[in-house]
Structure 1
Amino acid sequence: MSDKQKSKAKAEQAKGKVKETLGRAVGNESMTAEGRAEKAKGDARQAKEKVKDVFKR
């Protein structure tokens, strides 16, 4: 996994987690949903990079 893509995936996951938690704390369902979506995007990016690594070997 390239370091740049790995870092980007981790950052998206963390940002999504924070946004989701904050949305829950203030009762904002829209923010909570956005956080979940960002976290899922980071998870997907990380999974894609792992698949690429498997096929490189």
Structure 2
Amino acid sequence: MPAIDTELIARELPRLIGREVNNMGVILKRDVDHRALETFAVAFTCIFGVGGWILWMIRQK
């Protein structure tokens, strides 16, 4: 048996999506658009998280 049952997903997904769609035809519509905050969070994590890790690795030598 495969780890992911594609037949089950194909059978159940349309039913689940139909239940989640509201009258506007949008799945889980947000009241506020958070794209700018999410973009900033990703950029902050990439710059300071990865950059800090690289700096820490350099100092370990």
Same fold (TM over 0.5): no
Q: Which has the higher contact order (CA 8 A, sep 6+)?
A: 1
Q: TM-score range by the shorter chain?
A: 0.3 to 0.5
Q: Using structure 2 for the length normalisation, give the TM-score.
A: 0.37
Q: Using structure 1 for the length normalisation, give the TM-score.
A: 0.38
